[in-house]
Structure 1
Amino acid sequence: MAVSEDAQVHSSAVIEVGAIVGEGCVVGPFCVIGANVVLKERVELKSHVVVSGHTEIGSDTAVFSFSVIGEVPQDLKFKGEATRLVIGERNRIREHVTMNLGTDGGGGLTRVGNDGLFMAGCHIAHDAQIGNRVIVVNSAAVAGHCVIEDDVIIGGLCGIHQFVRVGRGAIIGAVSMVTNDVIPYGLVQGPRGVLDGLNLVGLKRRGVARSDITALRAAFQMLAQGEGAFQERAKRLSEDTESVYVHEIVEFVLGNTDRSFLTPG
C-alpha cells in the first residue's frame, strides 16, 4: 500500500496492501479500505466506512460513518468482473450511503461528478452516471444505468427506475417513483411521478434571465398542449425560439434513450 506520510490514519483502521491514500487524507476509526482503492488528496473517511473494489474518490470529499462505497452491484448478472466506481471532488457522502461498482453489461463504470450532496441512506446503483452539484436526499434510490445530469435535486424516499434520464436542473419531489425520462428543468411530483411544471425556483436561484424563463414557460405549454406526438412538439420548439435553455430540452427529448418520457399533464 502507499499511504502518504502526512495522512492521518487511526490505529483501528484497516488498509489493504495496494491501496493508495493521498496527501492530507484522514481515515477515521474502524474504516476498511480495499486493495484497489485510491483516495485522492484530503479525502476524509469519518469512521466505520468501507471502501472496496476498484474505487477512486476525488479530492476534498468527505464520507460519513457507516457508508459502503464500491461494493459489488446488486445485479444477479454480475460475475465478479473487474469494474469501477469513480467519484469526483468535493462531494459530501453522508451516513449509510451505498454506491456500487459498474457491470460489464452497463459499460463497467459507475461515475459520480463533483460537488454533490448524498444524504443519509441514499443509494447509487451500478453503471449510474451522476453529474455535478447533484443532491440526493435521504433514503432515495437511483437504479442501475440511470443518467442524472448536473444540478438535479432528487427528493427524499424517491425511486428512480433503471435506465431513466433526468435532465439538467430538474427537481423530483419527495416520495415520487420516476419511471420515465424527465426533461431538463422539469418539476416532478406525486407518488407515481408526473411532470407538473418547471423548476422555477432553481432557475431563479441560478440567475437565469427572465427572457429565458419566459421562453421555457412557453415551451412547456407547447409540450403540454401542442398538436402531435411529444417528440414532434419538441422538434417544433427548436424552430420557434433562440433560447439555449429551450434548445437543451429539445436535444434531450430527441436524444437516445431506453425509456419514454414523463409528459406534462
Structure 2
Amino acid sequence: MLWVDLLSDEKLVAAKSTVSMDNPVVIMAGGKGTRLDPFTKILPKSLIPFGDKPIIENIMDRFYQNGFSRFILIVNYQKEMIKAYFGENTLPYNIAFMEEEEFYGTAGGMYLLRNVINQPFIVTNCDTILDGSYLDFYRWHQDRNNIMTIIGSHKEFTVPYGVLCMNNGMLDKIDEKPKLDLFINTGTYIFDPSVFDIIKDRQHLDMDKLIRELKALNVGQVGVYPHWGGWFDIGQWDEYRKSLKELGNV
C-alpha cells in the first residue's frame, strides 16, 4: 500500500537543516493504537496517513529539518508492516529497528537500547508533533545537565462550572468558570544515557513510573522545557482531525 496513492500524486521530501546532529531519536512505535480504532486494526498507528505521509514520517521530517537524521524505532504490534514501509521507501534517514518481545509499556522498551546508545538521546511517541525547534529542546537539556527533560506544552483550560473555594467547610468565594494555565506532558523527552543505570531489567515500565523513580532516587535533575508553541496529539480522532486543519493538511 502506498500512501502517495491514497492521498496525493506527489510526496515531498523534507529539507534538512544545515546543522547535523548525530544524537539518536527514539520513536516508540510498538503500541496497538486503540484510540484510533478501527483503522489500527488494519494499520499500525504509526502508519496512519496524515496528509501525504504516515504519521511517523511527518514526525521524522520535523526532526530532520532540525538536523536529526538517526532514528531508532521500537516496534511490536504489526512490526513487519512498519519495517516493510521503510524498506520500500527511499528516505534520507538512518533507521534502525528494535523489536519488543512483548508489550513493555511507554518506557520499558528503552531497555533494548542499553547497549546501543551512549550519548544523550530523544524519545518521542509516534503520535506527537511539536511546532517548535527540537534542536532548541536538545540544547536546553544539555545546558542544564539534566538526566531527563520533559517537553511540557502550555495549555489553557476553562473549567465549565462555578468552582467553590472553601476553607474548613465554609465558602470563601465562587470562582465562575475559571481558567487554568497548565503545562502538559507532550510525550517527548530527552535523556542522558545514565538513565540506563535505572532501566536495568526487561520489564513493563510506563514513563510516569520511570519519572517517579528518577525523582525518588535523586540520581539527576528532571527538567521541564516550557514549550509555548503548538502541540498536536494525533493519537485520537478528535485531535487527529483538528491537527489536520491546523497544520494545513486538508
TM over 0.5: no
Larger RCO (CA under 8 A, 6+ residues apart): 2
* Structure with the bigger percentage of helix: 2
TM-score normalised to structure 2 length: 0.28
TM-score normalised to structure 1 length: 0.27
